[in-house]
Amino acid sequence: MGKSIFEKILMEHLVEGKPEPGEEVSIKIDQTLTQDATGTMAFLEFEAIGIPRIKTELSVSYVDHNMLQIDYLNPDDHLYLQTAAAKYGAYFSRPGNGICHQVHLERFAAPGKTLLGADSHTPTAGGVGSLAIGAGGMEIAAAMAGAPYTFKYPKLVKVELKGKLREWVSAKDIALEMLKRLTVKGGVGKAFEFVGEGIKYLSVPERATITNMMVESGATTSIFPSDDITKMWLRAQGREEQWIPILPDQDAHYDEEMEIDLGQLEPLVAMPHSPDNVKPVSEVEGLDVAQVAIGSCTNSSLRDMKLVANALKGKKISKNTSLLINPGSRQVVLNLIESGEFKYLIEAGARILENACGPCIGMGGAPPSGSFSVRTYNRNFKGRSGTEDAGVILASPETAVATAIFGRLTDPRKLGKMPEVRLPEKFIIDDSMIIPPLPPDKASEVTVRRGPNIKPLPKFDPLPKTIEGEVLIKLSDNVTTDDILPAGANVLPLRSNIEKISKFIFHRIDPAFHDRAKEKGGGIIVGGENYGQGSSREHAAIVPRYLGIRAVLAKSFARIHRSNLINFGVVPLTFKNTTDYQAIEKGDRVKIEFGTLEKEELNAIILEKGKMIPLIHDLSEREREIVLAGGLLPWIRTRFS
């Protein structure tokens, strides 16, 4: 039987395990990626492991999240990351160089390579034929130390793209169509492989938009073939020697199959407050829109910026709408300046932000209260924009620019003839903002700079055989890591200080949670379906552990958050009977006997009610060892130091 693209790359990197859905496999990691919101903790964790130098082929530390420098916190973190990269052997992409996924796609991602990133949108690199997976920072630290990455082998889903997109319909609309079909949990435990005649009409940046956005379905990863279009992209980036062809065999086996007729798609949007609340623009257009934001790691490529610039040529944005643009990289900006298209953005009235994540993570660019903001980003969770009562609508660059011109949500087909977009045969390449690793003899002389906000990791004690505690909070379905621990300008700078950032846990849902957890000496969290969806931020697991929480009970867990809980010694438990979710309430005092987790089924005893609720842990033997040890760091320290 033939092999899929995913299987071909995985088998070349397989260290151990059985490549069958649901089975645990371990693979060698070629490249790692961190950004400054996750990177400070990942490098602190790497230092705690005790390895003197990074062991991957290539590791890159990006600065793109915590860019506002209103005090010393973010600059100190950036200096720590730069000196740590120099000492331990990583590339360092300086502030202003660009968004990690866009820059990595341009300068580092390569067909056939495995990439593990401390950011949920790492699968963006699947647009160039890389097997790229998002994970928590602790797992990236372990990979940098030379450990393989272990995960559950996903079901493989073949997505056949037929036909060709019509004018004003784009790759973002393909991704939104997928989310409409799958929902935000329909991709959990799956890897999506895009094939078919339709892919030959999609450039690498367009493919990357799709693999980036598929993360919102809960997918493990997504990938496109490495074909002539990939080769053309790498040639334009001066990296043609890195190209290898990777196509699925004709008789490749897939667990599931999907089909999308591109010619039948129309412009789509995701309405507030979920990426799967997808509607045709034609059905919901006409809403007054106070703000449009174009960029983020989903839609900040040169292709997207050229489309927007040319759609704005000779026009002005609506006087009632603010247009924010955050290009993906310096390369994008330099090429727009060279072609003369950058001035179209300025002349139209756009506000040009830094080449960074910016408003996507609530780092500036908050919309007015009670307004709608149309964004080309990948998430529209309530409050993520920085304005609690704003409604964020996710859209393609085409729909976003039409909305900016008319001042209300608008079907882009009303703009008339779509401008033709051609990528250059040779991009302007300037890597002066990427600092390469020092040789080992020079690296040993580097002193890592630590500002006063950078604190050591908390200690992680082994799991007790029994816990007894109060249910501190009970949550509904699809709670995100933004809900657990928000992003934003007042929270992100505290990522390297667990004590300070812990005060923001569940801040939007239950501001008293932190004080209650401290007063009670820990306790238990109860969640619904898909608990912990969204960002890979491991702080959503570290902080509960720091506050004394050793178990989370839920109907089901999002993949990365489940791993993060395990990595910090918190047991993820699911209800054997989901109806038992109704039987447990906030304030109940619960006792759970873990023992050594030798049994898959455990019981939660609600002491005052005398009720017993059966729970399931689906920990592998490796995961069981990690949890019992108190987390991945104490478990791995003895194996890779």
**Tokens standing for residue 346:** 């300025």
Work out the percent of the chain whose per-residue pLDDT is above 70: 99
State the DSSP code for 501.
H
**Which of 274, 385, 535, 556 is an active site residue?**
535
The per-residue pLDDT for 640 is 55
Q: Of 36, 64, 276, 304, which is the active-site residue? A: 64
pLDDT-derived band at 318 (thresholds 50, 70, 90) equals very high
The mean pLDDT value for 496-507 works out to 93
537 has catalytic annotation: yes
Which of 2-6, 360-364, 561-565 is predicted least confidently? Answer: 360-364
Asked whether residue 581 carries a pLDDT value surpassing 60, the answer given is yes
300: left (phi over 0), alpha (psi -120 to 50) or beta: alpha
Q: Is 535 a catalytic residue?
A: yes
> Is the pLDDT score of 638 beyond 80?
no
Closest of 159, 161, 171, 247 to residue 198, by C-alpha: 161
**What is the percent of the chain where pLDDT is above 90?**
91
pLDDT of 419:
95
Provide CB contacts within 8 A for 432, sequence distance 6+. Answer: none
For residue 422, CA distances in Å to 202, 288, 317, 346, 454 come to 12, 32, 24, 21, 45
65 belongs to the catalytic site: yes
Domains of the chain: 5-264 (3.30.499.10), 268-410 (3.30.499.10), 466-640 (3.20.19.10)
**pLDDT at residue 362 in the model:** 86
Q: How far apart (Å, rounded) are the C-alpha atoms in residues 182 and 247?
A: 25
Q: What is the DSSP letter of 568?
A: T
Residues 6+ apart with CB under 8 A from 108: 31, 58, 60, 91
- Residue 492: its pLDDT value, please? 84
Q: How many residues does the chain have?
A: 641
Indicate if the pLDDT at residue 474 is higher than 80: yes
- Return the pLDDT at 536: 83
What sections of 469-512 are H helices per DSSP?
A: 481-484, 498-501
SS3 76: helix
pLDDT tens digits for 206-232? 999 999 999 999 999 999 999 999 999
- Which range is least confidently modeled, 277-281, 422-426, 454-458? 454-458
Contact 156, 4 (CB under 8 A): yes
CB 629 within 8 A of CB 589: no
Average pLDDT over residues 564-577: 96
- pLDDT tens across 502-536, in order? 999 999 899 999 999 999 999 999 999 999 998 88
Question: Among 236, 232, 245, 222, which residue's Cα sits nearest to residue 107?
Answer: 236
**Residue 619: its pLDDT value, please?**
96
- Across 94-119, average pLDDT: 97
4-13, 42-51, 84-93, 104-113: least confident range: 42-51
Q: Which of 273, 303, 375, 379 is the catalytic position?
A: 379
The side-by-side arrangement of strands in the sheet containing 24-27 is 14-17, 24-27, 149-152
Catalytic residue among 36, 76, 77, 119: 119
Q: Which of 384, 537, 545, 550 is catalytic?
A: 537
pLDDT band (50, 70, 90) for residue 150: very high
Average pLDDT (535-559) is: 94
CA–CA dist 183, 278 (Å, integer): 9
Judging by DSSP bridges, how do beta strands 601-606 and 589-593 pair with one another?
Answer: antiparallel
Average pLDDT over residues 456-483: 93
Question: Does residue 289 register a pLDDT over 70?
Answer: yes
Residue among 13, 65, 539, 617 flagged as catalytic? 65
CA distance 633 to 522: 21
**Rounded-to-integer distance, Cα 102 and Cα 302, Å:** 10
Residue 458 has pLDDT above 90, yes or no: no
